A and B are shown apart, each in its own frame.
Chain A
Amino acid sequence: MFKIVKRRELNPTVTELVIEAPLIAKKAKAGQFIIIRAKADSERIPLTIAGYDREGGTVTIIFQVVGGGTMELNSLAEGEYVHDFVGPLGKATEIEGLKKVCVVGGGVGCAIALPVAQALHAQGTKVVGIVGFRDKDLVILEDEFRACCDELIIMTDDGSYGRKGVVTVPLEEKLSGGETFDEVITIGPLIMMKFVVKTTRPHNVKTIVSMNPIMVDGTGMCGGCRLTVGGQTKFACVDGPDFDGFEVDFDEAMHRGTMYKEFEAHARDKACNLFKKEVE
């Protein structure tokens, strides 16, 4: 059992939990993930680590409520316990030797982009952050990004905050304007990462993407998280979650990601009804 020492709602559908897990906190690095199970019969949910405090012995996760599992997780209060918490899994993002990097985050993916930006900043890398959200209400972690980015561009789809448009617009402007980066690191919805890669490819800027496919065990056993990278089968849990964006077959990953869409929707409705009953 792992204690929730802090709970914070970042926006109406995105929650941050700070979990007491000293051993994981000691080893965690930006880009790695954990597997969490809310209760004894819950699903195993992979979530990329959003932060860690080695001295305090805590690991921070940020998640969006998308299905029954995340809804169950969201029902736990500060001071309560999650049943299982395992990690750190996957490989850390490779940041050594990078002088200037553009970190592109989208939606809840920004939660994962943040520790990467922070780690880069901490080693003296110049960081340009481009973060995108649907609208003003969904903007998260702005202060945290400002603290670790040399330049931060906030985009919203509807223009209700920052600039109006998608993240690839300022990215394209920078690249075609002659600004150079050692790497672009992007984390967010698959469709966004696909278009980030489409933007960087003509400029030949190495682009790292963080993949978050369906997983069951997350430790290199089930093979559910397989992706096609450079024409080869790779497993996000042990070979990733970071991959060379130019090599990833995004269309395939997007297809596979929808496999349980109906089940998720159904589970969410079921969970909603249960909560409604409890309220009544």
Chain B
Amino acid sequence: MLTDITIGQYFPGQSFLHRMDPRMKIGLLFMWIVAIFVFDSQVSYGIFTASAILLALCSRVPILTLAKSIKPLWMILVFTLLIHMCGTPGEVWFHIFVFDFTREGFIQGFHICLRLALLIFLSSLLTFTTSPLELTDAMESLLSPFKCIGLPAHELAMMMSIALRFVPTLIEETDKIMKAQQSRGVNFESGNVLKRLSNLVPILVPLFISAFRRADELAMAMEARCYRGGEGRTRMKELKIRTLDYGACAGTVLLIAVLVVLKVEGI
């Protein structure tokens, strides 16, 4: 039931994408995204698609699982394609009602869709290969330069990791409460909207109570261990940029150089 949901999409593994420093991964992802917007010729899109697929293969995350990450987006993709097809003037392919579907529109729409799909695909590759904890660590580290203008980087990262930490716990709790109430004759699967909404009360009330109790206990436990914010804290797993990360960085720079040359040459 509920416990069958995986939160965060992290897929444990040992590939080089898994072992890279999360800060480098975020940085490089950012560069790739900019590159995808800047270089929009057909050849460069071919290169992007090919390298995205290559990366996915390297990550050893099952392709099917990866493809599912685009699933929530496919309605938007189809819609974009249709809008472009009937909004762009050119050679008419077919005609429905008052709309003319053009060939040029299709090509342009396909471009936009591919761009969107690539963005989502690459970003989810990041979340698939980076555990939520690594991500928050990276966030803290990347935000720390802004501390001097008063941004509470450590506190933000701590809140985020606590929130992430408790998502599975709360899901488990919800599952348990649902089962307990089901055992008392609540039927979550049928009934009209009003009935279903009122069925939420026996779940939400105990869930909130337990969430507050947990928050209280956690705060107490943190204080008991003398937690007092980020000042002067060291960590067990230091993030470190290693050869692997420089390699990946060099690869990206090379890729972008090739794309620049192609663009200048006008291919």
Q: Do A and B bind each other?
A: no
Give the interface of B toward A (CB within 8 A): none
Give the interface of A toward B (CB within 8 A): none
